[in-house]
């Protein structure tokens, strides 16, 4: 969850709390490292280094090859199903897992038009008509991120769709594409899926307590980034929800956004399926990137929406610097 605490230094490695839902949905890569505080900062570099060593031993499948992509999806689904006590879980998590892999494959293209078409076709996500100003996200923050990634001052009259196109394409090409996804780890240890039913818009996942995998410390720590949500579910612009979007745009809070995305579905259907997914990809530079997703399934049509995407345990050199704010969402 975003907070306003300042990082300790420009080159430090940041810490991510996977339970902090930065909802939103794909779109908006803005990666900034941060450190939560001096009490834990001394262990973060060691944690990130250990994660890199562990991941280096995993087998990987190429995201850019269709056959390899299918092999990765099938292998990871089979590994997770074998681990579960109830393979016939009514929560359709395999579809959510496939969506998360497809998300990375589209991001790897560094093609904003391709991403926008994919977001619309898979989840009915559309570009916001104006920049949302919720929590810490002021126009100054948008401008700061723009200058960090694009390399020049943000035009005063830039529209959200123009901002997204320029930012998305520049971000994934930074550093020679260091964080651009090229392959997915297919070791059984490198996948962790937790299913849950949310009955309140504020529900979230607790800490990762799995005993037979890589351990919770593998998935918590390292880089992360600031983020900006520029693609939102088209449903939030319809009917009564339109007024709530305007509330967010004019200075809402994190909880206002969370409520906007979930409350009407829970009110109508009493509950919604949710999943949290952890896995590892390899960036173009060879760096190993532990990632986590949180997704919500729309009861009306069974479509999964990505409400959070976070990157963990990667050195701060792979991001765009430090300072405050939260995790990335694309």
Per-residue pLDDT of 124-162, as tens digits, reads: 988 888 888 877 778 888 898 888 888 899 999 999 999
243-279 pLDDT, tens digit per residue, is: 677 777 777 777 888 888 888 888 889 999 999 999 8
Task: Enter the pTM of the model.
Answer: 0.79
Cβ neighbors of 83 (< 8 A, separation 6 or more) are 188, 212
Task: Using DSSP, state whether 193 is helix, strand or coil.
Answer: strand
Q: Across all residues in the chain, what is the average pLDDT? A: 76
Distance between first and last Cα of the chain? 15
pLDDT at 313: 72
**pLDDT, tens only, 99-132:** 999 999 999 998 999 999 999 999 998 888 888 8
Separation between Cα atoms, residue 26 and residue 230, nearest integer Å: 8
Q: Which two tokens stand for residue 115?
A: 């991403």
- Band of pLDDT at residue 282, cut at 50, 70 and 90: very high
Report the alpha-carbon distance of residue 80 to residue 89 in Å, rounded. Answer: 11
Pick from 214, 176, 195: nearest CA to 53: 214
Higher pLDDT, 202 or 22: 202
């Amino acid at each position: 969850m975003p907070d306003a605490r300042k990082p300790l230094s420009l080159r430090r490695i940041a810490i991510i709390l996977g339970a902090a839902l930065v909802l939103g949905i794909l779109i908006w890569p803005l990666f900034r490292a941060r450190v939560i505080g001096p009490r834990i900062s001394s262990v973060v570099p060691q944690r990130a280094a250990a994660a890199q060593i562990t991941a280096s031993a995993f087998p990987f499948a190429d995201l850019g090859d269709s056959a390899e992509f299918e092999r990765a999806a099938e292998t990871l689904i089979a590994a997770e199903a074998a681990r579960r006590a109830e393979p016939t879980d009514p929560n359709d998590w395999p579809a959510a897992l496939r969506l998360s892999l497809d998300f990375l494959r589209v991001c790897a293209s560094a093609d904003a038009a391709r991403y926008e078409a994919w977001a619309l076709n898979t989840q009915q996500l559309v570009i916001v008509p104006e920049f949302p100003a919720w929590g810490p996200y002021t126009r100054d923050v948008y401008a700061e991120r723009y200058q960090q990634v694009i390399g020049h001052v943000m035009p005063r009259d830039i529209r959200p769709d123009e901002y997204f196109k320029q930012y998305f394409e520049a971000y994934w090409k930074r550093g020679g594409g260091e964080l651009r996804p090229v392959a997915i780890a297919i070791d059984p240890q490198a996948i962790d899926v937790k299913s849950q039913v949310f009955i309140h818009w504020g529900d979230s996942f607790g800490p990762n307590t799995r005993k037979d995998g890589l351990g919770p410390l593998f998935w918590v720590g390292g880089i992360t980034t600031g983020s900006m949500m520029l693609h939102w579910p088209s449903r939030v612009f319809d009917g009564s929800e339109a007024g709530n979007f305007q509330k967010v745009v004019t200075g809402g809070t994190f909880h206002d956004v969370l409520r906007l995305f979930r409350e009407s579905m829970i009110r109508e259907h009493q509950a919604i399926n949710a999943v949290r997914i952890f896995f590892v990809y390899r960036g173009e530079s060879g760096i190993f990137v532990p990632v986590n997703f949180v997704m919500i399934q729309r009861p009306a049509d069974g479509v999964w929406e990505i409400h959070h995407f976070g990157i963990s345990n990667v050195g701060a050199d792979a991001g765009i610097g430090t300072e405050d704010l939260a995790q990335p969402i694309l």
